């Protein structure tokens, strides 16, 4: 064989094999390259376990030799049907000890049989289960080369030549061995890549904000661009959480560092914030608790975090900051203001106090929170960067009137090739709830509170022109208030909120959350929450810093 021709073949073959992203396609490419140039027949076998997501390749070659193998590629120079039934592609089998492939995998070394003896051919056929195998192997020179990489054997390739053809020489063995190494590497890369993809997809699911359905008063849009598109996960996160009183908690955070490690730390913090937010803590206390938790979890990660609580009834937004970039507010008429919130220390530093600031919100204002990836390419000084971002917002806001449009406009200003850091962006358009749609009372926790609550509900629903809800609302309020006064020692709070639905909340200072029980026919208690779960559109309960709140929501005719 001409050396130059041989080198060209090797180069082209290596390139063809190296580009595959699919194990079977790589193996088939390999088999096709071998025939007829290096053999009259070739078959490629891979560990069946490679086709199961997340399964690691066995460490010892011997383990591979006795594992289930899948024949993923067959190539030969005869009519396509000739060997299909004898050695079908896709078949899964154990590699029998009679096959040279078994030895090759068990030792991790190539096995060369210059001519398969009739007795060995018969033994192979016996193990294989059909005498039809004999003509495929008998008298042929047989080369079995393991597909090994990084100390592991992933499979094997078998190449044979008919007796009339020249037998394999050293150069052939080396050539097949060279290509097999390349194939093994490519297949292992696919395996690793796929494993990484599965991991990142799993993490991604944890990252992606699951916005609570029907967030009254807030329209949210968000974007997440991983800095490294291959690893679609980073340390940035955001969340929106429904809180009692139609308030909404909004968080954005950024674990310093990159990759899966930061993503895992982010996952911890994200869940911690959700749990703490459900306790309805003021923002500064939430960050303080988060900092404590981060220390106890032993994560040596630092994270910046900004937590906001929007109250659509009071028309204010409370914010506390742990070292994160300050948010921007797009007011009416395209006025953009940075929010003056003390920068605070990052989560993980420990022992520092945070401050809550309160900013007034008008109907339709948009709160924009982001991570530093959004501003990293906008100048050297952080103040300049934020000002540049504010300028982009000023330009965008007259055109982009909704949060989605604002996000698009801001992402559009990013240089797609330049951003190296993750970019997370959340725009929340805040609408207010008129005081006339809210009613709130303190009631002494005594039996009379039940009847009084019913009366207040009826009077209030009459004022809101919701007579169709009288009966259900009174019934469910009765249950909630009855439950609340049973253990409360301080006045309970009853709140009604009329938006596209009717929301009713009852707070008391008892910490035990109610449990939904199936009441037996004659039970006096325990029927209440069952009723609530049946008649309400939604219902729930959550612990607060001073007790608990139980709520239900009824659909209104106009919703």
Q: Which positions touch other proteins (CB under 8 A)?
A: 245, 282, 309, 311, 313-316, 318, 358, 360, 435-444, 448-449, 452, 455-456, 459, 463, 490-491, 493, 495
Q: To the nearest whole angstrom, how small is the minimum distance from the Cβ of residue 234 to other proteins?
A: 33
* Closest CA relative to residue 65, chosen from 98, 106, 107, 100: 106
Main-chain dihedrals φ then ψ at residue 225, nearest 5 degrees: -115, 115
User: By C-beta, is 31 or 281 nearer to other proteins?
Assistant: 281
User: By C-beta, is 157 or 306 nearer to other proteins?
Assistant: 306
Q: To the nearest whole angstrom, how small is the minimum distance from the Cβ of residue 54 to other proteins?
A: 47
Strand order in the sheet with 68-76: 92-94, 68-76, 41-47, 152-161, 141-149, 111-113
User: By C-beta, is 114 or 332 nearer to other proteins?
Assistant: 332
User: By C-beta, is 318 or 476 nearer to other proteins?
Assistant: 318
* Closest CA relative to residue 411, chosen from 424, 395, 397, 401: 424
Q: To the nearest whole angstrom, how small is the minimum distance from the Cβ of residue 391 to other proteins?
A: 30
384: its two tokens: 């300049």
**Alpha carbon distance 450, 456 (integer Å):** 10
User: By C-beta, is 60 or 500 nearer to other proteins?
Assistant: 500
Strand partners, 303: 255, 347
Q: To the nearest whole angstrom, how small is the minimum distance from the Cβ of residue 492 to other proteins?
A: 10
**Alpha carbon distance 41, 138 (integer Å):** 13
Q: To the nearest whole angstrom, how small is the minimum distance from the Cβ of residue 484 to other proteins?
A: 13
What 3-state DSSP class applies to 57? coil
User: By C-beta, is 213 or 436 nearer to other proteins?
Assistant: 436
Strand order in the sheet with 423-430: 218-225, 423-430, 365-370, 328-330, 336-338
Handedness of CA 328, 329, 330, 335 (dihedral sign): negative
User: By C-beta, is 284 or 421 nearer to other proteins?
Assistant: 284
Q: To the nearest whole angstrom, how small is the minimum distance from the Cβ of residue 431 to other proteins?
A: 14
Q: To the nearest whole angstrom, how small is the minimum distance from the Cβ of residue 515 to other proteins?
A: 28
**Alpha carbon distance 472, 33 (integer Å):** 75
In angstroms, the Cα distances linking 228 to 20, 194, 260, 408 are 21, 16, 11, 20
Residue 437: count other Cβ atoms within 10 Å of its Cβ. 16
| Residue 273 host element (H or E) | helix 259-278
547: its two tokens: 């007790």
Q: To the nearest whole angstrom, how small is the minimum distance from the Cβ of residue 272 to other proteins?
A: 22
User: By C-beta, is 16 or 316 nearer to other proteins?
Assistant: 316
In angstroms, the Cα distances linking 386 to 40, 299, 370 are 68, 30, 10
Strand partners, 94: 68
User: By C-beta, is 151 or 451 nearer to other proteins?
Assistant: 451
Q: To the nearest whole angstrom, how small is the minimum distance from the Cβ of residue 226 to other proteins?
A: 36
**Residue matched to tokens 């050539």:** 175
Handedness of CA 285, 290, 296, 302 (dihedral sign): negative
**Alpha carbon distance 513, 484 (integer Å):** 10
Q: To the nearest whole angstrom, how small is the minimum distance from the Cβ of residue 558 to other proteins?
A: 20
User: By C-beta, is 442 or 516 nearer to other proteins?
Assistant: 442
Strand partners, 225: 423
Q: With beta carbons less than 8 A apart as the criterion, state whether 19 and 185 touch.
A: no
In angstroms, the Cα distances linking 260 to 148, 166, 270, 371, 485 are 28, 53, 15, 18, 49
Q: To the nearest whole angstrom, how small is the minimum distance from the Cβ of residue 545 to other proteins?
A: 11
User: By C-beta, is 84 or 446 nearer to other proteins?
Assistant: 446
């Amino acid at each position: 064989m001409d050396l130059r021709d041989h080198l060209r073949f090797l180069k082209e073959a290596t390139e063809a094999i190296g580009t595959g992203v699919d194990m079977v396609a790589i193996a088939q490419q390999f088999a096709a390259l071998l025939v007829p140039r290096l053999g009259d027949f070739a078959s490629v076998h891979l560990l069946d376990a490679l086709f199961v997501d997340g399964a690691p390749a066995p460490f010892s070659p011997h383990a591979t030799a006795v594992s289930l193998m899948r024949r993923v590629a067959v190539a030969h120079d005869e009519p396509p049907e000739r060997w299909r039934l004898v050695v079908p592609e896709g078949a899964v089998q154990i590699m029998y000890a009679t096959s040279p492939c078994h030895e090759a995998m068990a030792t991790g070394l190539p096995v060369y049989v210059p001519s398969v003896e009739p007795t060995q051919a018969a033994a192979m056929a016996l193990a294989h289960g059909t005498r039809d195998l004999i003509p495929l192997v008998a008298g042929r020179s047989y080369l079995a080369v393991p597909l090994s990489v990084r100390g592991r054997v992933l499979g094997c390739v078998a190449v044979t030549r008919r007796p009339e053809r020249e037998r394999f020489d050293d150069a052939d063995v080396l050539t097949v061995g060279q290509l097999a190494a390349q194939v093994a590497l490519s297949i292992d890369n696919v395996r690793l890549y796929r494993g990484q993809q599965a991991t990142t997809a799993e993490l991604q699911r944890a990252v992606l904000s699951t916005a609570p359905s029907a967030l009254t008063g807030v329209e949210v849009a968000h974007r997440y661009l991983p800095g490294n598109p291959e690893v679609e996960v980073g340390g940035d996160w955001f969340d929106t959480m429904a809180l009692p009183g139609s308030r909404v908690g909004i968080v954005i955070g950024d674990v310093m560092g990159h990759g899966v490690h930061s993503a895992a730390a982010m996952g911890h913090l994200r869940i911690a914030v959700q749990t703490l937010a459900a306790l309805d803590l003021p923002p500064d206390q939430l960050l303080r608790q988060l900092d404590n938790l981060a220390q106890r979890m032993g994560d040596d990660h630092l994270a910046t975090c900004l937590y906001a609580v929007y109250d659509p009834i009071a028309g204010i937004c409370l914010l506390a900051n742990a070292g994160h970039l300050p948010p921007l507010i797009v007011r009416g008429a395209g006025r953009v203001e940075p929010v003056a919130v003390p920068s605070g220390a990052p989560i993980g530093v420990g022992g520092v106090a945070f401050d809550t600031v309160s900013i007034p919100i008008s109907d339709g204002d948009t709160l924009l929170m982001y991570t530093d990836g959004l501003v990293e390419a906008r100048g050297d000084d952080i103040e300049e960067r934020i000002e540049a971002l504010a300028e982009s917002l000023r330009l965008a806001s007259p055109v982009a009137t909704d949060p989605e449009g604002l996000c698009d406009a801001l992402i559009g200003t990013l240089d797609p090739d330049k951003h190296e850091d993750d970019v997370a962006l959340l725009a929340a358009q805040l609408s207010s709830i008129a005081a006339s749609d809210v009613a709130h009372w303190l009631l002494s926790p005594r039996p009379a509170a039940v009847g009084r609550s019913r009366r207040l509900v009826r009077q209030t629903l009459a004022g809101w022109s919701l007579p169709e809800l009288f009966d259900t609302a009174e019934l469910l309020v009765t249950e909630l208030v009855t439950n609340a006064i049973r253990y409360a020692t301080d006045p309970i709070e009853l709140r009604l909120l009329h938006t596209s639905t009717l929301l009713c909340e009852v707070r008391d200072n008892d910490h035990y959350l109610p449990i939904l029980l199936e009441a037996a026919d004659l039970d006096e208690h325990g029927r209440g929450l069952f009723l609530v779960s049946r008649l309400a559109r939604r219902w729930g309960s959550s612990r607060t810093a001073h007790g608990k709140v139980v709520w239900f929501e009824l659909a209104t005719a106009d919703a």
